[in-house]
Structure 1
Amino acid sequence: DNLQFRTADANGRQRWLEIVTSPTKDRQGDTIGLRGVARDITVLKQIELALRDSDERYWRLFESTPQPMFVYDEETLTFLAVNKAAIRTYGYDREEFLSMTVEDIRSTEETPALMIKTPTDIDEPLISSPWRHRRKDNSIIYVEMTSHPVAFKGSTARLVIANDVSERKLLDEKQLSLHASLQQSAMEWRQTFNAIDFPVLIVDLEGHIKRLNQAAEEIAGLDAELVAGCDIADLENSQPWKKASELIKSIRDNDGSSAAEVKDETNGKTWAITLYLIQEFGSVGERAILIAQDITKRTELEASLRQGEMMSLLGSLVAGVAHEVRNPLFGISSILDAFETRFSDRTEYLRYTDVLRDEVGRLTVLMEELLEYGKPFKGDFYKLSVDEVITKSLRSCLPAAEVAQVSLVNKIKDPVPKLMVDRRRLSKVFVNLIENAIQHSPSGATVSVEACEVHESQQRWIDCSVKDCGPGILDEDKPKIFEPFFSKRRGGTGLGLAIAERIMGEHGGKLIAGNNPVAGACMTARFPLPPEEEIVDG
């Protein structure tokens, strides 16, 4: 054991002594006494106290420095000491700092600045450029650092002085960001300009093209470099350029804007042309923005809507006529019944009464279909499974199939999602399609019904197809197959498919006429599916 203590010598001077003791043992190993050696360590103790006093002065200087300072181990990168300025700047307390490494304060986007070494490994100060450091609250500061190699408690370490340059760095970054933002905006403007899918041009009031987007290039058939500076009237002697040239000449007289629609008779396209005068355009002179939109589909849709309205009025008229005819028809049928009863024994009248009965039956079916076609849409929708409606429709058509010696097959295996439908009206669709397939199928043939999910125009649909084995649909008949009273079958009213198409339109769907790959027609009732989260499986 070692024991150090302070005492006074004979002259009264303070001395430091160290006594080292060890046990004395006999041959059996038992302790029988102690031996001690005393030595004077006053000089060593004075050196130790001087060093301690020097360390205290160093650490007072270290703590009082207004700049963040810290010492870290070069091997483990752990913090060995931090001053108050570092605690204040980074937001960690001393205990937290001493449990961390230098990697914990650097931003994840940066290379660890403190791990950079001098290229010659000479123990000299190392100055590094501004780096991003992360504070305790996750905010970022920028620091310039100077590091010095030091020996610290037996470890190879570095003393780091950090200078906070956040304000200067943020100002520089703001300027760079503004410059980049301007460049990005210009690029985005060019990309947006070219992404517009209809022609957009910037022209002066003399009709010279200054800039045009990619869609305009494609319509003009020339590259932008070749078109720039040309007169718009020189592009082509066709629309929309001819009309655009006329609008440019008259824009001053139209309060800075002009618009017109024009049809190109060569290709059937309809164009909506709009011209806006740009009032302030720097020192480059007056210019205008020319927009040419292909509205062919819109005009066709408007025509289709007008046709639909006309057909709706026609349906109402036809339904009214059918209603008025049905009462006299009922009277004729009643008189025919009475005539057959009165003259049942007169067989010579049978050929006339049979013909009258067939014609009255045909007129009755026609009136019922006219009433169905003219029936107004009420929108009594309920959620149910389409395959349930198909099953009941097949069952309703069985008698007609047996008479025609045609087999009906339901090939729908998987459940069809429930949709909002009008049960009675939708049943009429499938009955009409199945009966139409039976009428066009030869004896011994099969009429099948299938269902599948399809994707078209970013929309999910359910296709319910009725397929027959008949002669199929001629290409020249497809455009008019859904027109009222169009029929190629002897005795047909031509209203069955027209009624089915109208009901499908009421359901937001469509009826598609086509042919099977091998033989026979395929009539498809296509229903829109709601988003998946709204579907309730049946």
Structure 2
Amino acid sequence: MANIDPPLPAGEPTFQILFHHPLPMWVYDLETLAFVDVNAAALARYGYSREEFLSMTIKAIRPVEDVPRLLANVAQLRPALQHSGQWRHRLKDGSVIDVDITSHTVTYNGRPAALVMTHDITQQRQTEAALQRLNRTYAVLSGINQAIVRLRQPQALFEAACRIAVEEGSFRLAWIGLVNEASQRIEMAAQAGEAGDYLEKINVDLDDKARRAGPVGSAFLSGKHVVVNDTAQDSRMAPWRKDALRLGYGAVAAFPLKVRGTSRGTFTLYAREAGFFDVREVALLDDLAEDISLALELAEQTEEHRRAEAQLRLQSAALAAAVNAIVITDRAGIIQWVNPAFTRLTGYELAEARGCNPRDLVKSGQQDPAVYANLWQTIMAGQPWQGEMVNRRKDGSLYSEEQTITPLLDEAGQITHFIAIKQDVTARKQLEAENQQLLTQIYQTQKMESIGRLAGGIAHDFNNLLVPIVGYTELGIAKLDPGSDLRRDLERIKNAGERAAQLTRQILAFSRQQMLEITTLDLNEVISNFQHLLTRLIGEDIILETHLTSGLPTIRADRVQLEQVLLNLVVNARDAMPDGGRLLVETAPVTLGKTYTAHHAGVKPGPHVMLAISDTGQGMDAATQQHIFEPFFTTKSQGRGTGLGLATVFGIVKQHGGHIWVYSEPGRGTTFKIYLPLTTAPLSTAKVEPAEGGSLAGTETILLVEDEPGVRQLVRDTLLEHGYRVLEAGQPEQALALALAHTGPIHLLLTDVIMPHMNGRDLYQKVTANRAGLKVLYMSGYTDDIIAHHHVLDQDVAFLQKPFTVYSLLQKVRAVLT
């Protein structure tokens, strides 16, 4: 060994003894920092040979980052034995150890040097670090457990756990993730620490093979902790390695959070140092994750209990508030509970109903026993039963209900209770009956209208046949002596034709297709003036009474048609009282409300005048009432009626915009009520009054336009025989040609209203374009509403209704020309 000059702590033999100490020792030059001597213990511990050691400087065994501190320490060395602190040394294999150094300045071979002795404290430091980590982990465990006791909401607990892990455990990042079942991703629920953008990018997709293999996905799927102690090297961190290293995450540990054995999420911790997580720390963190899991489970149970209680309260409130009656019975049918709706339906309170069988409370006796047998057979088989029943309330009144009875089963599948839900359908059943009645009324009205259209069409055609029959008969009678046998035969033909015309007028009245002479009328005055005729008509054994409300509002109506209504109804009442009785005629102003009109098809609400005719006769059953307004329907014996009386009344009332309803029961008489509106728009038919007396002959020229040959011939012959000059046309186009070709005057256009290609009004307008001052007389057998549609019933327009007589024709022509 080389010579070492004083000063020395002892003599050279002492130094040599120390130099052979079992702890590593060496001497290095203070100026060059080169090793100049080294003992065997240093060679053994650091792994270098003597030659390698002596070829290096003391900087070679220091980590690069520690060299500046080393140089500063060397510069401060003073002659004396001193403790220079704890350092890190790098061994030949690259590993780094912690050492405690004691050094002393010496003179070695005449040069200033330092004698260094090292004590390896690596294990001690590791133990201390482990203890510190354990202490921090215990602090985290304690803090989170306190949070578990204090916090009941999972979200608040998650946030506290992450914060405590970072603050007390010195973890760089802590986060809790929960699984999203829909997306199959672990999504962040809470976090604390240096996260940067890491959690935004982490995307733990359980359907992605690489990402589910990471520590978070693996811990969740396996239900066990996963530790990655070296993020730089572990392949499981491949998807996130770059960001993890950038943010200083050296080690990662993920712990599953499980509820009832099923993973719900993970608690993941990130440490700065690689190798951070040892066995003892992981075991403590496992316990911590279990504590958090238990807290989560308890929170879920608490929430489930809260929801269950809320659900029970809701169900209880719903049952109590339900509109339908609800009854719960035991297996034997004994009532356990009823809701308030049951009380409202039946009148029985819960206290009265509990312990009773429903049959003892509400059974009405209206059901066939087979219904109850089927009910019990069904529900005892575990099947629900549905049906309708008529039951009795506490006050004795009956009601209809729909009910569903459902068996309630226990876990063993045994019936324990029955629940019955009852709906009061009394009003609905009544409404259904009323709707059925209303549908019947609508059907009856439609049927009557269809029959009316058919009958009206037949009557119109029949009128065209009657016009020439009656007309030519009149012409023939005028040419014969009063005592002629032929004249008497023609008069009989004329009378038959007039009866046929009357029949067609009745049919037109029923079908609402007759012409009306609308005027403003006082219905009371019409009845009073007609009463003497009605009295003679009914005979002495029937008492006629009138109750006419004074100040009755006026109506717009045809007086003759109202008299026909009165006549037909009174005759009908008389025939229903063969042994005498009482006949009452009443009037009154009424307002029909929406309630009434809702139950009577076609009736509009508003003010009306009512005419009621009541008798004490035989009455009618419901089946008869369904047909009484049909034409040719009669209950009278053969030869006593045509069956058109009530049909005519029906048609007249409808044509006036009114409504008629019958009220009758067998043996209790009949009442007909007629409602006529006060505001029906008038159909003003301006009539040209015929001249009284004077000749019916004339010399004027008349343009006759009629598409029915028989009618046209009769009118032509009648006019010619009475001195008129006639231009005859069967079509409007022919009439226009005649008017243009005729060089003399034309005094009157006598035209049918409804013709092919052109109506009478349009024809008149075309003719008067060249013949100003031309007068017109329209004739038609069509209905007043169709005629009105063609604008020939306007004010100051002359009109002749078919069928007409020769006399009425000549009278009307003379009146228009005069």
Give TM-score scaled by structure 1 length: 0.40
Give TM-score scaled by structure 2 length: 0.28
Structure having the higher Rg? 2
